[in-house]
Structures are given as structure tokens and as C-alpha cells.
Structure 1
Amino acid sequence: MRADHATLLRALSALLAYPDAELRAALPEIAAAVRGASALDAAARDDLVALAEEIAGLDALEAETRYVDLFDRGRTTSLNLFEHVHGDGRERGPAMLELRQRYLDAGLEPRGGELPDHLPVLLEYLSCRDEAEMREMLGDCAHILRALGNTLLRRGSRYAAVPAALLALADAPGLDPDAPTPPPEDIDRTWEERPAFEAPMPDDPRPPRRAS
């Protein structure tokens, strides 16, 4: 893979990472990498740099809270790709194992606590592969990237610049701000904790169940 493609993919991966102190310290370097990315047009580069500058300009707690609220509070903006396809269904496990094995076959051992289908992890992997594989894999998940990006656009988030850039790298149709909004899904609220105990009905004479 060309060096500028690899550097750009790592920069895009970083922009989607949790904005902790280490990432915030690297934002000037990330922005510089984006500015030098010939694979994207000027408008795409400007949008990505604006995202980096926005993150840098936020209070650390505000940046972290916004990130969690945006990416960890529902399926439609999840960065775990298979969650968009399989949800919590049993098909997700085998797909995850297959993707992890693909990383291992390439001599790359995933580190950290993120799942193999976490988009920043996938981008780190692709930064080590050739352009043909990059376009193939980004093309395979283009419908997910487009849905994610359109949702971020509707929410007025500059993070939409990242899936837009990935679609450009895949030579796939870009984001559509006028795309119809999908109907709300109850499954998008599965992040909420379920109560540990069930309260008795008002006319139920039985005492509440006790934990064993």
C-alpha cells in the first residue's frame, strides 16, 4: 500500500478513537497527516481537519462525554460493524472469529479490549494491507459506512467526515443528507440496563423474589 494511504487510514482510525489525553495530544499530527493525504479531495480533507480541531477545542470531559453519547448509546451509530448486521444474534460470533482469524493470518495480533469488528481496529489492519484489499473490505461494508455517516450527518456531527472519507477511498457512492430516516428500532435501546429484579404486581400477594 502507498505510504500516504496507510498514514491516512491510521489517521482516520485515530479520529474515531476515544478522545483520551493521548489522542488529544496527537491531534496536531493527525491533522497534518490528513492535510497531506492526496487520496482525498480538498473538501474531504477540510472536513476531517475541522473534526480534529473541534475535538481539540473541546474540554476533555466534554469531548469524552460526547463521544460516549454518540457511539456507545445505540446501534445506529455503533462503531462495531457486525452490530449493524447481526445485532446480538448468534451469527455475530462466527463472523467475529472469521475476521479475527483474517488478522492472525496476516501476522497481526489484535491488542486492547476492542472487538475485531470495531471500525478503528479494521482501519488499523487495512493500513498494513494492499490497496486492493482495502477497497474490497471497505466496499463490502460500504452500506454500513453510509448508514452510519448519514445518521451522523442528521445529528449534525463532524464525525460524519470519517465514513465519508472511507467511502471515497472505496470508490463507493458517498453520503446522502436527504436519505430517508430509517424507522426507530427498539433494538437500538438494548444498551440500557435491564432491572435485576421484577417488581410484584400490585394485586400480587407474593413477596418480591430475593436474590439467591
Structure 2
Amino acid sequence: MIVSLKVLSLLLNYPTQALLDDLPALKQAVSTDKLLTAKAQKFFGNLCDDLAKQDIYDAQERYVFLFDRTRSHSLHLFEHVHGESRDRGQALVDLRDMYLKNGFAVDTTELPDFIPLFLEYLAHQSFPEAQEMLGQTAHIFEALRVRLKKKGSIYSNAFAAVSEISKAEPSQELLSDILAVPEDDPNDLEAMDRIWQEEAVKFGGNAGEGSCGPDRLRMQMRAADRRPPEVTTQNMQGEN
């Protein structure tokens, strides 16, 4: 198992008291992970230390405000490249089938592209395979890092750690595509209501035949087509 990816999957889940209780052990696990650079270990350590200082209810409220009230910080991969398009349904089917093909049983109500679930899957793959998949999604993880860093969120450390693990350079074009989409306002309750009222993506239906694997998923990960005529990308400072 790739310990660092397993720990990341836990840290990016909704905070529970059990998670907070386990933080010392998680921090210890990554501190001895020889796959991690000192820089990556610092990202992990600072995130663990921040969570450890939180009251459970404050930690949960912060998590919901960051990740559940806007699409801009969504922890669903395909939200950032497919949005509301029908292609997202097929991409989810393909990702789920890849999990099953590789013996990863998905026993959860979360969609397959939920980032903690995706990271847990990668934690059980070989390191080269995990790096390959992280490289395919590098533009999505970097967009989340940039946006969370802009908000001053310690959770940007999680995505900075992913970058350190993958060693992948995100496509600047694809990254610009994502960052060009205006960010949602988490205080806009009407907009949040519209998100919840939309029809949920369903598996099947338009799911076509064909191969499922890294090549097809690579095309799906790159399927950002919402780029406006003029795009600017902000330079961000390093993580905490």
C-alpha cells in the first residue's frame, strides 16, 4: 500500500472524531514514508497539526463550507472537466469499471470520482501506476490547490502533497481552462439550492461499449471545454 495516498484519502474525507483521534498516528505514518520528500512530509504534518487544533464541529463546518457549498472546490474530479455535461456520466461509469477490473470494491454512496475514493484506489496500486494516474489528473489537483491557497485554506497542503508525490507538471492549457471558470460564492444560498435541485448523474443509460482504462480516462480527464476567449492564471505562493 502507498501509505501517503491512503493518509491523504482519509484527510480529505469529512472530519470525524475518529479521524481527529487518529491524527498522531497518521502524522507518524507519513513521517516514516520513504516515498515522500521532506517538503511533502511538511505539507502533511502542517495539515494534521491544523486539524488536531480544531473542535470537531468547527472542523466539520469548515469542511462543508469549503467543499460542499460550491462547485469551485468540489472534491469530484469530473466536476472540473465535464461539469453538467452528459459526458460525465460515461466518465463515471468508466472509472467505476476500472476500479472493479482491478479488484477495488466500491462499497460507498459516493460517486467514483470522489477524490478521497480515487486516492484510496491509487493507494492499492503500484507506485508507477499511481503516479501515472495522478499525472493525468494533475491539472485538476493543481486547480484545487491554487483555489484553496487563494482562500487561505490549509487544505491546499493536501493538493500540494499530491503534486510532490506525482512529480507531474500539469498542462498549463488545461489548468487555465479550469481556473478561467468563475468561482462560486459559498454564501450564495440560491445558487447552492440550484446545485442540490439538479438531477443526479446516473450510471448506465448512455454508457457505451469499449475499453476502459488509462487511455480512455486520460481523454476524459482532459475534456475541459468551458474556456472563455480570454484566460488568465494567477501565480500563487507556496503552501504552509
Which one-letter code corresponds to 2:108 in the other structure?
A: G
- 2:149 aligns to what? 153
With normalisation by structure 2, the TM-score equals 0.72
In structure 1, the residue corresponding to 2:139 is in which secondary structure? Answer: helix
Is contact 1:73-1:191 (8 Å) kept? no
Task: Indicate the structure whose relative CO is greater, using CA pairs within 8 Å and at least 6 residues apart.
Answer: 2
User: Which among 54, 75, 81 is matched to residue 77 of structure 2?
Assistant: 81
Distance 1:113 1:40 in 2: 31
Residue 62 of structure 2 is aligned to residue 66 of structure 1: yes
Residue of structure 2 in register with 1:109 after alignment: 105
- 2:117 is aligned, of 115, 118, 121, to 121
Instruction: Confirm whether residue 16 of structure 1 aligns to residue 16 of structure 2.
Output: no
Q: Is the 8 A contact 2:78 2:113 kept in 1?
A: yes
Shift of 1:193: 1.1
User: Deviation of residue 173 (structure 1)?
Assistant: 3.3
Q: Distance in 2 between matches of 1:83 and 1:139?
A: 18
SS in 2 for 1:184: coil
Q: How far does the alpha carbon of each residue in 1:41-69 deviate from its partner, in whole angstroms, 9 at most, with x for none?
A: 22221221111111111111100000000
Q: d(CA) in 2 for partners of 1:53 and 1:167?
A: 20
CA distance in 1: counterparts of 2:55 and 2:131, whole angstroms = 36
- Relative distance call for 1:185 and 1:63 in structure 2 (3 A) is closer
Q: In structure 2, how many angstroms separate the alpha carbons of the residues matched to 1:128 and 1:187?
A: 36
Q: Does the C-alpha gap of structure 1 residues 187 and 91 become closer, same or farther in structure 2, counting only changes over 3 Å? A: farther
**Secondary structure of the equivalent of 1:13?**
helix
CA RMSD of aligned residues (A): 2.6
SS at match of 1:74: coil
The equivalent of 2:193 in structure 1 is 193
- Between the two proteins, the alignment pairs up a number of residues equal to 189
Of all paired residues, the percent bearing the same amino acid is 40
CA gap of 1:19–1:98, structure 2 versus 1, over 3 A, is same
Aligned twin of 1:184 = 182
**Unaligned 5+ runs, structure 1:** 197-212
**Are the structure 2 counterparts of residues 186 and 54 from structure 1 closer, same or farther at C-alpha, using a change threshold of 3 Å?**
closer
- Residue 26 of structure 1 corresponds to 22
Q: Check the 8 A contact 2:27/2:48 in 1, yes or no.
A: yes
Unmatched tracts of structure 2, length 5 or more: 198-240
Please name the residue that 2:138 is paired with.
142
Q: 2:42 aligns with which of 34, 40, 46?
A: 46
1-side partners of 2:72 and 2:42: how far apart? 25
The TM-score with structure 1 as length reference comes to 0.81
The Cα of 1:80 is off from its aligned counterpart by 0.3
The one of 89, 93, 107 equivalent to 1:93 is 89
Structure with max Cα Rg: 1
Work out whether 1:35 is the aligned partner of 2:31. yes
Deviation by residue 1:184-204 (Cα, 9 ceiling, x = unmatched): 2569978611499xxxxxxxx
